[in-house]
Amino acid sequence: MTAIPAAARASGRQFALPLSLRLALRELRGGIGGFYIFIACIALGSAAIAAIGTLSSAIQTSIAREGQVLLGGDIEASLVHRRASDAERAFLTRQGPISEIATLRSMARLADGSSQALVLVKAVDGVYPLYGAVALEDGARLTDALRPGGAAVERAFLEQLGLQKGDRFNLGDASLEITSVIASEPDRLSAGPSLGPRVMMSLETLDRTGLSQPGSLIDWRYRIGQTDAEQMAAFKDIVARELPDSGFQVRDKTDPSPGISRAIDRLTDFLTLVGLTALLTGGIGVANAVSAFIERKRKVIAIYKATGAPRDLITRSFLLQVMLLAVLGIVIGLAVGAVLPFLFTALYGSALPVRLEIGLYPGALLWAAAYGFLTALIFMLWPLGRASQIRAGELLREEVEGKAGWPPPLFIAGSVGSALLLMLTAVMFAQDKQIAAITLAAVAVTFLVFAALGQGFRVLAGKMPRPRRPELALALANIAGPGGLTRTVTISLGTGLTLLTAIALTNASLTEELRTQIPERAPSHFFVGVPKTAFDGFSDLIAKVAPGSELEAAPMLRGKIVSLAGTPAAQIKAPPQAEWVLNGDRGLTFSDAPPKESQILEGAWWPKDYSGVPLVSFEGELGRALGLKIGDELTVNVLGRNITAKLANFRTVRWNSFGINFVMIFSSNTLAAAPYNYLATLTWTAPHEDKAEADLIRTVTAQFPNVTSVRVRDALETFNSLMGKVFAAIRVAGGLTLFSGVLVLAGALATARSRRIYEAVILKTLGAPRWRIVAAHLAEHLLLGLATAMLASIAGAVVAYIILTQLMDVSFHPSVMALLQATLLATIFMIAFGLFGTLRVLGAKAAPYLRSE
Amino acid sequence: MPILRGVTLGIEAGETVGVVGPSGSGKSTLLMVMTGLDKATSGVVRVAGHDFMALGEDALARVRGEHIGIVFQSFHLVPTLTALENVALPLEFLGRANAADRAADVLQSVGLAHRLSHFPAQLSGGEQQRVAIARALAPNPKILFADEPTGNLDVRTGEQIMDLLFALHKRLGTTLVLITHDQRLAARCGRIVTIEDGRVDPARQDLESVA
């Protein structure tokens, strides 16, 4: 036997890459048709996660970068209720240049007493600001504007009281002149969100107002210039060592606003989870695309086998192909995700408290890439595994679609393993692991529920008696038949609609709660800083001006927790829901009797006129979350003194009553000697006019200029508008899931197109007019869409119910609009897609489909 | 339901055998069993010294790659690969280093030296079948199975393809098993095997080859 001779020449024809990669690249050379949806699904989810991560990193980085200016110093040490003593001040001055400021809430009144406004007062020394500059609208110098008796105010203040520059207003016991209008204040962010406009003055002017009294709620802040990083880091320890009882609360420029940082972290977490839901929904599109791809490649796979390719080589090469496409999708997603924040900054940058410097944040992109890759693996491995089951014998026999059996165990393991890894990663790196785990579990359950619905719907459609109208019969046959869209529609559309319904219902319930429920049971006003010596006069006045009202009051001081059961607060690793108790200072009160609405959960309340060791009652859930046990010692710092009390009992607190609620209530002998003020609430028990409220505030403010009154409705309105913004962001992220589902649907419809055309051609051959075919398709799509929407509404309501009642402790208020939204969207999508698909089907030529190969 | 029943068939190295029979007689199934693309439920299948009944799927693929070439009625070229790459494919599966050069040589020997970088869709039916033959012969197989190789071609092209197959057989000495329903084509083989209703009819083997 002689072989065909190899020509003795060096042609340079070399195949350098590994065979599996070579095969993959050759296949891809034919184009990526059929993979656009696959790529889009992965790109969309990755883009969302990358954009959220980049934006959040940019905000955090910008805050940290401008930390010095935002904080107003390198370090801030603050006290509540009291000014630093001479010794403390001397200590602070040794650390570097210092600036002293005082912040408080108060009521500014018109000179004639006709109107008043809640304002945020900031009194500063001559050094302020240590970093950055206050810009005044008229370009004046701050020191000139803050001359004794003068105040610089925000424009909102002028608008609220109808004042102009040069006018006068009353604050406390003083009459002040508006000397200038503040254009920007460098350290505004560190004050956190506020209910009123800023009124800035000198410390000397604050003295004139008489607002600074023992026990009044003033934060004294000492900003220190200390650029040495080591010194800065060591500051907290030095304070703890040298001034152990001072009660200084310390923060530095690396995290100038811990509250805002925490809020951003939480929101990032949550939006990332929603983005991940979009990515996972897109996963269905990935699985569909890979299945269709393997179906298209059956013959090629059989040829490979017939020409001697081993099974693992084939699967490896196809895995590589799909992986390369997934990487393409991820790269597109990351590119979009990295660019979107620029767009966001261009549109909304001016509304943010810091100048955002968007850049490349590799960490954020890496996360998005990892999530994209794992999602691709979860959904591609299963259908890819079927490639290895295709037999070479198919080349000789026309085999119909292969039976959809289980893929080889390795592929199942890979798919399940990727899913577990994804869940583990998402939960491990979330701030609130419990919420992350619940969310992912909910997504998984939703997938399963809608997969089951799809199956159930198929079975049901198959068992229904055949309708007399042929269009309906065709629609039912398509829903029940093999290779139909049923399950894809239910899963892809169902997940997105469930999420949107849940978001809409949660939003509606919270809005309802804030707009009508809370105002009904909450008091209508809070009065802060009623002096204990003047309390009787205050309550007499209320009884006179607001006869149809109820006044409740409690002594209040602020203090911070120093240690719990001997462990310093800084070393306590609190669970997320209880962290806030340890952050910053808390309101403290004392009482002989437990609050009316509280129940004692464990331990016992102290007897009236108790005079033993100081005792404290702690809110039960929080106390247990912080690891406290009855009998433990708890130390708080109040007015520069450490007070240790023994935990006597755990009690319930109805937080959503929005009344006077304290985490800690001490036995009277603990705090009664301190210079405290009263916190009071007023609830109207009889119907009243708005004018009565205005009169009340005016009278109280005129007679008790040191008392700050906050209208609960205003506070709720402020909160509601903030919540509206947060929900807008959540809704956009949630909308992505629906969009992802729509992409999946579009992909599935495209895959089914040639089968649909074939079917339509046969129907036409049999004499069906076009309207019948259109009607059959519409009926099928509508039936599917409506059934999915109905279940999505129910599932969304269940999810919202759980979120509201179990996680947020808010009652569930069903909203018809929120519930109907799913149905409406599903109907629109299904009709749009159905019609578009059907028109393309009807436009196709019959001949090529009827001629055999 | 068994498709092949009690088939006993021996083919010597270098032989040319035509397997004929009406549609549904079991020709294709016999080919699948002989090429290891499908397994017989019972019996003995030995090809090129290998016991096919004892081999797994990947081992069969390997034996096919080394010893068996198959030419199909509808060519079955990979549409996304060029002629050269299609022919190089089995060589690459065998891990041959000079796959591309070897593929070019084989394509030259079937008269397609000028079509190396063309894709199947850019080739005529006859050219596609030549590529398929080149692909089947590239690894120097011991046996070449051709399943209705002219079935999708016009008469003249079909004849050219048959001429090529027999010329290559003469030149290389490869065993040739031709599956066809066309008695005239089968007559060009050294021996004819008739299969009917899943059985080989021994009485009609040599008789028809003489006729």
Q: Interior CA angle at A188 toward A185 and A194, to 5°?
A: 130
Shared domain for A562 and A484, answered yes or no, is no
Cβ-nearest to A2 among B72, B104, B171:
B171
**Cβ–Cβ contacts within 10 Å for residue A336, how many?**
16
Closest residue by Cα to residue A777 from A487, A401, A459, A484: A484
Q: Which of A13, A307, A853 to mutate to test the interface with B (most CBs of B within 10 A)?
A: A307
For residue A12, the chain B residue with the least C-alpha distance is B101
Read off the tokens for A306: 């017939």
Nearest-CA distance B158 → chain A (Å): 19
Q: Which of A23, A297, A396 to mutate to test the interface with B (most CBs of B within 10 A)?
A: A396
Shared domain for A40 and A170, answered yes or no, is no
Its domain, for residue A271, covers: 34-66+256-431
Domain boundary among A229, A255, A281: A255
Residue A475 lies in a domain: yes
Strands, E assignment, A639-731: 641-651, 664-666, 677-684, 708-711
Residues 6+ apart with CB under 8 A from A379: A283, A284, A286, A287, A290, A415
Read off the tokens for B37: 């693309």
Cβ-nearest to A396 among B37, B93, B94:
B37
Residue A535 lies in a domain: no
Residue count (chain A): 853
List, in sequence order, every residue forming a beta bridge with A77; answer none if it has no partner: A222, A250
Domain boundary among A633, A667, A685: A685
Shared domain for A456 and A316, answered yes or no, is no
Across the interface, whether the CB atoms of B80 and A26 are under 8 A apart is answered yes
Across the interface, whether the CB atoms of B174 and A1 are under 8 A apart is answered yes
Q: Where are the alpha helices (DSSP H) in A386-523?
A: 409-428, 433-463, 470-480, 486-512, 518-521
List, in sequence order, every residue forming a beta bridge with A680; answer none if it has no partner: A527, A553
- Model pLDDT, residue B210: 35
Across the interface, whether the CB atoms of B64 and A306 are under 8 A apart is answered yes
State how far the alpha carbon of A545 is from the alpha carbons of A533, A659, A660, A695, A698, in Å: 20, 21, 22, 8, 10
Nearest-CA distance B130 → chain A (Å): 15
Domain count, chain A: 4
Provide the 8-state DSSP code for B77: -
Low-confidence residues of chain A: pLDDT under 50: 1, 8-10, 400-401, 852-853
What ipTM was estimated for this complex? 0.74
3-state DSSP: chain A helix, strand, coil percent, rounded to 5? Answer: 55, 15, 25
Residue A466 lies in a domain: yes
| Residue A375: exposure state from Cβ atoms within 10 A (0-12, 13-18, ≥19) | buried
Sort out which chain A residues have CB atoms less than 8 A from B76's CB and list them. 299, 302-303, 306, 395
Closest residue by Cα to residue A651 from A606, A613, A686: A606
- Model pLDDT, residue B1: 64
Q: Report residue A367 CA to chain centroid gap.
A: 18
Nearest-CA distance B64 → chain A (Å): 5
Does A630 contact chain B (CB < 8 Å)? no
State how far the alpha carbon of A326 is from the alpha carbons of A281, A374, A447, A576, in Å: 15, 10, 22, 36
Shared domain for A677 and A590, answered yes or no, is yes
How many whole angstroms separate alpha carbon A390 and alpha carbon A407?
11
- The letter for the amino acid at A432 is D
Cβ-nearest to A396 among B31, B80, B139:
B31
Residue A730 lies in a domain: yes
- Model pLDDT, residue A137: 92
Nearest-CA distance A503 → chain B (Å): 47
Cβ-nearest to A26 among B35, B62, B85:
B85
Shared domain for A583 and A679, answered yes or no, is yes
Residue A168 lies in a domain: yes
Q: Report residue A600 CA to chain centroid gap.
A: 34
In 3-state terms, what secondary structure has residue A728? helix
Shared domain for A283 and A398, answered yes or no, is yes
Taken in order of first residue, the domains within chain B and their CATH numbers are: 16-210 (3.40.50.300)
**Cβ–Cβ contacts within 10 Å for residue A697, how many?**
23
Q: Report the run of H or E that residue B104 belongs to, with start and end.
A: helix B99-109
Q: Are B97 and A319 in contact (CB under 8 A)?
A: no
Residue A29 lies in a domain: no
Domain boundary among A394, A413, A431: A431
Across the interface, whether the CB atoms of B37 and A22 are under 8 A apart is answered no
Taken in order A572, A573, A574, A579, is the CA torsion positive or negative?
A: positive
- Model pLDDT, residue A652: 92
Q: Is the peptide bond before A482 cis (omega within 30 degrees of 0)?
A: no
Q: Where are the alpha helices (DSSP H) in A77-181?
A: 86-95, 142-145, 155-161
One pLDDT digit (tens) per residue for chain B, 211 residues:
677 777 888 899 999 999 998 888 888 888 888 988 888 888 899 998 899 999 887 788 888 888 999 898 888 888 878 899 889 888 888 888 888 899 999 999 889 999 998 988 889 989 999 999 999 989 889 999 999 898 888 888 889 889 989 998 998 899 999 998 888 889 999 999 998 888 887 655 544 333 3
Shared domain for A203 and A332, answered yes or no, is no
How many whole angstroms separate alpha carbon A375 and alpha carbon A459?
30
Cβ-nearest to A4 among B28, B31, B106:
B106
Shared domain for A223 and A236, answered yes or no, is yes
Shared domain for A423 and A475, answered yes or no, is no
Across the interface, whether the CB atoms of A306 and B77 are under 8 A apart is answered no
Across the interface, whether the CB atoms of B101 and A7 are under 8 A apart is answered yes
Across the interface, whether the CB atoms of B37 and A2 are under 8 A apart is answered no
In 3-state terms, what secondary structure has residue B200? strand
Shared domain for A223 and A192, answered yes or no, is yes
Residue A121 lies in a domain: yes
For residue B34, the chain A residue with the least C-alpha distance is A393
- The letter for the amino acid at A257 is S
Shared domain for A626 and A731, answered yes or no, is no
Across the interface, whether the CB atoms of A304 and B89 are under 8 A apart is answered yes
Sort out which chain B residues have CB atoms less than 8 A from A304's CB and list them. 78, 89, 93
Q: Where are the alpha helices (DSSP H) in A243-310?
A: 258-296, 298-306
- Model pLDDT, residue A397: 63
Shared domain for A576 and A647, answered yes or no, is yes
How many whole angstroms separate alpha carbon A327 and alpha carbon A316?
16
Residue A541 lies in a domain: no
Across the interface, whether the CB atoms of B105 and A7 are under 8 A apart is answered yes
